[in-house]
């Protein structure tokens, strides 16, 4: 936005020399009420936590903004609504983007100030008050227009930066995946076959020993460890070579029920209650059922593992016009922001026996379905993983 736009706006609201003259005489009427107007501005702002939270600089910053606001009010009436005026108004928009103030507060705050100014003018008994107030309304419309426009300009610059950052993050992730994928595939391949051999050999020894032999429990433990390794290798392979999803008509509700039946028998989960809250009218979606199973399984396992020291898991499914949602909530130990920031990274784990692939596989699955996954948590209170899957896959994929 430039000064030409400002002139155009002035013509639009019919703001001219008469208005400038009318406003010039109003400052003496407003000055005695200046403190009240500024106080009211903060009183209203204080009732809105998201607005007042922009004052991260505490009392000092509030004092600075109070002063800026008084000056702003005063300069409404000093005339010369030209280039200098326009520049000073553009600066305000940019200052608010800098502090991250939501744009709609500009409009509401202007209304608060407008009410204060009109009230001050009426009380002061100025001659011809009505037409002067009309001039003020025009000026406030211009003020708002300029503030919001310049706000938007620098806001969109910031949004563009954010978007570029997101794309860069995605690229890094993709490169990371490609590198890890190759390594994982060859490693998994090298491990899988010997592992099958070891497992077969142990079975034979075990059968030869008989169930009551003192070493047979040791061998059972060895078998347990082997299946763990096998699961890790399978995970790796899934991660390294994620097969394209095979979309079929799938009822997420049915999938969740089936998985929960299996999981409740899982030794690591036993003792952790798992509730399922659902609607029985769940619509079918186009999805890869095997992948959805794996998604649910990984999320529920994470939730249950977080509850080992006490807690419970609730799985919820729901839907609306656009999407089917799955939420896995637990009242376990939770995770802090540092862990949350890394939880979706492949191989990131805080568990002694974790591979750290669970959530990154979940993310790949969700991406393949063009959905979204988020993790919210409060340390000591629990965690909620939410997956949204679109009800219709877009034609382009």
The binding site for ligand HEM (CB under 6 A) comprises 45, 51-52, 54-55, 57, 61, 64-65, 68-69, 72, 91-92, 95-96, 99, 101, 105-106, 109-110, 113
Per CB under 6 A, does 357 bind ligand ATP? yes
Residues 312-331 that bind ligand ATP (CB under 6 A): 330
Q: How far apart are CA 99 and CA 84, in angstroms?
A: 23
Please write down the long-range contacts of 153-158, taking CB distance under 8 Å and 24 or more positions apart. 153/1, 153/93, 154/93, 154/94, 154/97, 155/97, 155/103, 158/97
Q: Is 389 helix (H, G, I), strand (E, B) or coil?
A: strand
Query: By the 8 A CB rule, do 142 and 82 touch?
Result: no
In eight-state DSSP terms, residue 51 is H
Q: How far apart are CA 200 and CA 122, in angstroms?
A: 95
Minimum CB–partner distance for residue 154 and ligand HEM (Å) = 13
* 355, 366, 371, 387: residue in contact with ligand ATP (rule CB under 6 A): 355
Kindly write out the interface string for residues 280-309 of this chain, putting x where it contacts ligand ATP by CB under 6 A and - elsewhere. ------------------x---xx--x---
Nearer to ligand HEM by C-beta: 139 or 326? 139
At 334, list the tokens.
């939770």
Cα end-to-end distance, the chain, whole Å: 39
Tell me the torsion sign for CA atoms 300, 301, 304, 305: negative
Minimum CB–partner distance for residue 185 and ligand ATP (Å) = 17
Please tell me the number of Cα atoms within 13 Å of 47 on its side-chain side. 8
Minimum CB–partner distance for residue 360 and ligand ATP (Å) = 6
Q: How far apart are CA 310 and CA 306, in angstroms?
A: 8
Residue at shortest CB range from ligand ATP:
358
Per CB under 6 A, does 348 bind ligand ATP? yes
Per CB under 5 A, does 358 bind Mg ion? yes
Nearer to ligand HEM by C-beta: 106 or 126? 106
CA 236 to each of CA 185, 272, 355: distance values in angstroms, whole numbers, following the listed order: 7, 27, 9
| Residue for token pair 């983007």 | 97
Nearer to Mg ion by C-beta: 143 or 235? 235
Per CB under 6 A, does 233 bind ligand ATP? no
Binding partner of residue 371 among ligand HEM, ligand ATP, Mg ion, none, CB cut-off 5 to 8 Å per kind: none
Binding partner of residue 357 among ligand ATP, ligand HEM, Mg ion, none, CB cut-off 5 to 8 Å per kind: ligand ATP
Binding partner of residue 113 among ligand ATP, ligand HEM, Mg ion, none, CB cut-off 5 to 8 Å per kind: ligand HEM
Q: Can you give the binding site for ligand ATP, defined by CB under 6 A?
A: 298, 302-303, 306, 330, 332, 334-335, 339, 343, 348-351, 354-360, 383
């Amino acid at each position: 936005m430039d000064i030409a736009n400002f002139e155009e706006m002035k013509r639009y609201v019919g703001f001219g020399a008469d208005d400038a003259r009318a406003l010039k005489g109003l400052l003496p009427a407003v000055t005695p009420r200046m403190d009240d107007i500024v106080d009211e501005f903060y009183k209203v702002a204080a009732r809105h936590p998201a607005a007042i939270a922009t004052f991260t600089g505490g009392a000092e910053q509030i004092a600075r903004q109070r002063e800026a606001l008084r000056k702003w009010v005063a300069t409404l009436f000093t005339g010369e609504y030209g280039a200098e005026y326009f520049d000073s108004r553009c600066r305000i928009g940019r200052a608010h983007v800098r502090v991250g103030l939501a744009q709609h507060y500009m409009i509401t705050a202007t209304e608060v100030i407008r009410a204060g100014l009109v009230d001050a003018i009426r009380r002061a008994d100025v001659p011809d008050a009505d037409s002067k107030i009309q001039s003020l309304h025009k000026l406030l419309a211009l003020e708002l227009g300029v503030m919001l426009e310049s706000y938007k300009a620098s806001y969109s610059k910031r949004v563009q930066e954010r978007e570029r950052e997101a794309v860069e993050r995605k690229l890094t992730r993709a490169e990371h995946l490609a590198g890890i994928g190759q390594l994982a595939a060859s490693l998994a391949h090298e491990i899988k076959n010997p592992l099958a051999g070891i497992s077969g050999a142990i079975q034979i020894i075990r059968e030869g020993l008989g169930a009551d032999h003192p070493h047979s429990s040791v061998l059972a433990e060895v078998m347990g460890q082997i299946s763990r390794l096998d699961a890790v290798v399978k995970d790796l392979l899934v991660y390294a070579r994620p097969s394209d999803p095979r979309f079929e008509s799938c009822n997420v509700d049915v999938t969740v029920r089936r998985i929960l039946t299996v999981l409740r028998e899982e030794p690591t989960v036993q003792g952790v209650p798992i509730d399922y809250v659902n609607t029985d009218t769940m619509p079918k979606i186009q999805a890869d059922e095997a992948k959805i199973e794996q998604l649910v399984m990984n999320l529920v396992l994470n939730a249950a593992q977080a509850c080992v020291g006490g807690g419970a898991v609730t799985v919820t499914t729901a839907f609306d016009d656009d999407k089917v949602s799955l939420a896995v909530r637990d009242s376990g130990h939770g995770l802090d922001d540092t862990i949350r920031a890394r939880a979706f990274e492949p191989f990131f784990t805080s568990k002694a026996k974790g591979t750290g692939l669970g959530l990154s596989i979940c993310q790949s699955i969700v991406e393949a379905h063009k959905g979204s996954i988020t993790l919210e948590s409060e340390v000591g209170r629990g965690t909620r993983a939410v997956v949204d899957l679109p009800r219709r896959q877009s034609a382009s994929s």
